[in-house]
Structure 1
Amino acid sequence: MPDRILVLYGSYRRDRMGIRLADYLVRNLAARGAEAELVDAKTVNLPMLDRMYKEYPRGEAPPEMEALAEKIRTADAFVFVIGEYNWGMQPGLKNLTDHFLEEWFWRPAAIASYSAGRLSGARANSLWHGTLSEMGMVVISSTLTVGPIAATLDVEGNATGDAGKSLDRAFPRFADDLAWWTEAARAQRERTAPPY
């Protein structure tokens, strides 16, 4: 059975560059046999957080929220594609994640960050580690940092130049780490029910 991996991306900008990295990840995870699916916060378009999914009476959540909750619940793992806004988190992705809580529990999460500059979103990458852990995920130690993104990936998400070669070299370890934790978490959930 292939690993079901959600690749979550959160920029709402008109000329967004991070979608290149999201596309790269979906394609390369699928090439390794995973069932990878992009969840684009802009396309899902949840409202600013007013009420979490769990706060709606059963069957009364908006349809797009209900559909996403089901995708999250049935995923084996998550990859968060994160940009850096003024040393911080992208609000679109943070808003999407905050609509849910228990749905994220007991699965691994990986972080792939990017920026237009040489720091590759590293500051936001660091911020997301604690947030995802608090939301009940096991954050793997391998991360991808991509920057400058325009020199790393073309508009179709294909690796280009020396920066792209570096990404291609880093990806297998990142994917192997995620696959190991995905298998471990699945085996543990089958062995015993989570404690809460």
Structure 2
Amino acid sequence: MSLTVPVILGSVRSDRQGIRAARFLVAELEARGHAAPLVDPAELKLPLLDRMYKEYPSGEAPEPLECLAAIYRRADAFVVVSAEYNHSIPPALSNTLDHFLEEYFWRPSAICCYSAGQYGGVRAAMQLRAMLAELGAPSIPSLLPIPRIQKALSEAGEPAEDWLRKAAGKFLDELTWYAEALRAKRATGTPY
């Protein structure tokens, strides 16, 4: 069953490494037959949050928000790729996520976190779990942490280490299960 799973990248830094993980996950999702549009805050150039998408009069939101809303409305799940900045999530990721709310409802999320060091960004992932649940897109139990990302993935997103493709397979199997289950339930209605 084909799904739409936006991959939301969290960094806008000029030397960001997360683009490697995002490219890898987009390719892995597409290999499964899923649509996996990349949501890149560096390309979107969203302003700092002043008004949420829903607070604009219909048809008057800035073009990047209108495009993103259309992608999110089609989504069955979300993959969020996050670095760890000061034991927390990057500000660009928070800003990208905070522009929306209802578009996330009743859709699962999955967290891929990374770092240049050995911990793979897991401290940021714990904070991101709480945020995604509050947005209405609770994260699946599994994480995909990628330590030493600069060695684990090439610039093009090709894994240099065998464990990564295997771990990603299990991670995406779990997300697919939740996405299919929640899509079936959304089709019969939601609590509100």
Q: How many residues align?
A: 192
For 2:117, the aligned partner's letter is G
Deviations along 1:68-93, one digit per CA (max 9) or x if unpaired, are 11111111110000000011111101
Deviations along 1:36-95, one digit per CA (max 9) or x if unpaired, are 111101111110000111111111111111111111111111000000001111110110
State the match for 2:89 in structure 1. 89
State the match for 2:129 in structure 1. 129
Q: Is the aligned partner of 1:113 residue 2:130? A: no
- Structure 1: gaps of 5 or more residues: none
Q: Name the Cα RMSD after superposition.
A: 0.9
Q: Is the aligned partner of 1:167 residue 2:164? A: yes
For 1:195, the aligned partner's letter is P
Q: Structure 1: which 4+ aligned runs deviate by more than 3 Å?
A: none
Give the TM-score of the pair, scaled to structure 2.
0.98
Deviation at 1:116, TM superposition (A): 0.4
State the match for 2:50 in structure 1. 50
Q: Comparing both structures, which one devotes a greater share of its residues to strand?
A: 1
For 1:169, the aligned partner's letter is K
Give the TM-score of the pair, scaled to structure 1.
0.96
Aligned residues of 2:129 and 2:138 also touching (Cα < 8 A): no
Deviations along 1:3-40, one digit per CA (max 9) or x if unpaired, are 00100002111111110000000001111111111110
State the match for 1:77 in structure 2. 77
Query: How far apart in 1 are the matches of 2:138 and 2:187?
Result: 17
Superposed counterparts of 1:1-196, under 5 Å? 2-160=2-160, 164-191=161-188, 193-196=189-192
- Structure 2: gaps of 5 or more residues: none
**SS of residue paired to 2:37:** strand
Query: How far apart in 2 are the matches of 1:23 and 1:96?
Result: 18
